[in-house]
């Protein structure tokens, strides 16, 4: 025996409910807006033929009878329509939304199995490598040589550890903000690995909407446009690999937190991001770049974060 099909039924019941609610309002309005000869003076009526007078009298009596029943009709129509709307909504939720939520939940559990979490030591090593690479580039660009005493000073363990702790703290705070702001629509998965690809934060959608993947950078002194461009292109490649391996749509977000004393200026940073977005549009690649000064980041709440992310 074929299983009963609910899809068209709940749509029909919902449509009937909406129609009855509309009739509950429309019918009284249609009757009340018509005069039905009630405004004609008695002198005008006496001038009509006896047949016309009789027809008008019958018409007025009929209207009077209908008007006394309209409130009852409106109440019943509205009540039945509301019940139909609720019944259709419940059927839709049970037969469509609940299975969809179960499927989405299973997909996220499968995604969590695909994404291997980093250990605390692995996170620290990863951040140390990033910080050291960044510091080396800064010194080399300043002195245009491979080694300087300043580089040795900058790469001292205490200095590196301090920067690593700042970078890890920033990622933890951003993870907390994303969880508090988007936990209704996304599952937040920090520090994950997909094969050889390291992912700082994954926002897995609980619906059919796109996931968001965050690459978090802490900048001590500053950056140049080509550093920004290289990082976003590498990140787009990682995002494409994520989409291919997980079969889920995803948008990469490069989230940069900068020290207050860093260069370039905020105006130049905005120019860099605008220039980069133009290049990405030409390459038909979708990505988002967000820059936040460190002081502003630590005072950020949900409304400010959503404004920055623009989604």
Mean pLDDT of all residues in 264-283: 84
- What average pLDDT score do residues 295-307 get? 92
| pTM for the full predicted model | 0.65
For residue 3, what is the DSSP state? P
Query: Residue 18: helix, strand or coil by DSSP?
Result: helix
How far is Cα 164 from Cα 77, in angstroms, rounded to an integer?
67
For residue range 208-260, list pLDDT tens digits in order. Answer: 889 999 999 998 777 788 888 888 999 999 999 999 999 999 999 999 998 77
Q: What's 117-309's CATH class?
A: alpha beta
> For residue range 1-47, what is the model confidence (pLDDT) as tens digits?
344 344 567 777 777 888 888 888 888 787 767 666 555 666 666 66
Tell me what pLDDT residue 125 has.
87
Of the listed ranges 101-105, 141-145, 214-218, 266-270, the one predicted with least confidence: 141-145
Residue whose structure tokens are 């709307």: 85
pLDDT of residue 101: 60
Burial (CB < 10 A; 0-12, 13-18, 19+), residue 281, is exposed
Least-confidence region, from 48-62, 124-138, 198-212: 48-62
Task: Check residues 57 and 301 and name the one with the higher pLDDT.
Answer: 301
- pLDDT, tens digit (0-9, with 9 covering 90-100), for 190-221: 999 998 889 999 999 988 889 999 999 998 77
8 A C-beta contact, residue 256 and residue 215: no
Residue 220 CA: distances (Å) to CA of 122, 162, 261? 22, 11, 8
pLDDT of residue 6: 46
The token pair at 39 is 């405004």
Longest dimension (CA), the chain: 118
Q: Is the pLDDT of residue 303 over 60?
A: yes
Pairing between β-strand 197-205 and β-strand 186-194 as defined by DSSP bridges: antiparallel
> What tokens does 134 get?
């960044």
Direct distance between the N- and C-terminal alpha carbons of the chain, in angstroms, rounded to an integer: 47
Six-digit token pair at 173? Answer: 């705070």
Neighbours of 193 (CB within 10 A): 15
Task: Please check whether residue 136 is in contact with residue 153, taking contact to mean a CB–CB distance below 8 angstroms.
Answer: no
Alpha carbons 293 and 218: distance in angstroms, whole number: 10
Q: What residues contact residue 148 under an 8 Å CB cut-off, 6+ apart?
A: 139
> Of residues 61 and 151, which shows the higher confidence score?
61
User: How far is Cα 305 from Cα 174, in angstroms, rounded to an integer?
Assistant: 9
Q: What is the pLDDT of residue 7?
A: 55
In the chain, where the domains are located: 7-108, 117-309
Between CA 10 and CA 93 the distance in angstroms is 10
Eight-class DSSP state of 183: T
Chain Cα centroid distance, residue 147: 47
Question: Cis bond leading into 264, ω under 30°?
Answer: yes
Phi, psi of 116 (to 5 degrees): -85, 125
């Amino acid at each position: 025996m074929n299983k009963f099909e609910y899809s068209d039924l709940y749509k029909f019941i919902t449509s009937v409910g909406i129609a009855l609610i509309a009739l509950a309002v429309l019918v009284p309005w249609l009757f009340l807006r018509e005069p039905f000869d009630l405004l004609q003076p008695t002198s005008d009526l006496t001038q009509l033929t006896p047949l016309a007078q009789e027809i008008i009298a019958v018409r007025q009596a009929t209207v009077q009878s209908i008007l006394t029943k309209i409130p009852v009709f409106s109440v019943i129509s509205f009540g039945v329509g509301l019940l139909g709307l609720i019944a259709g909504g419940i059927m839709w939720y049970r037969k469509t939304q609940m299975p969809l939520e179960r499927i989405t939940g299973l997909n996220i559990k499968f995604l969590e199995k695909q994404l291997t979490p980093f250990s605390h030591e692995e996170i620290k090593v990863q951040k140390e490598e990033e910080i050291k690479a960044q510091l080396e580039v800064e010194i080399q660009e300043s002195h245009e040589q491979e080694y300087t005493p300043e580089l040795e000073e900058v790469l001292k363990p205490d200095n590196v550890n301090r920067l690593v702790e700042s970078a890890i703290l920033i990622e933890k705070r951003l993870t907390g903000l994303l969880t508090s702001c988007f936990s209704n629509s996304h599952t937040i998965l920090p520090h994950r690995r997909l094969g050889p690809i390291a992912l700082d934060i994954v926002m897995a959608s609980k619906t059919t909407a796109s996931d968001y993947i965050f690459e978090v950078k802490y900048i001590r002194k500053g950056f140049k446009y080509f550093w920004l461009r290289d990082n976003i292109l590498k990140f787009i490649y990682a995002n494409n690999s994520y989409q291919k391996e997980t079969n889920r749509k995803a948008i990469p977000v490069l989230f940069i937190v900068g020290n207050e004393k860093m260069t370039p200026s905020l105006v130049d940073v905005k120019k860099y991001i605008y220039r980069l977005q133009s290049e990405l549009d030409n390459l038909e690649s979708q990505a988002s770049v967000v820059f936040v000064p460190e002081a502003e980041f630590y005072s950020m709440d949900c409304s400010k974060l959503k404004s920055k992310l623009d989604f």
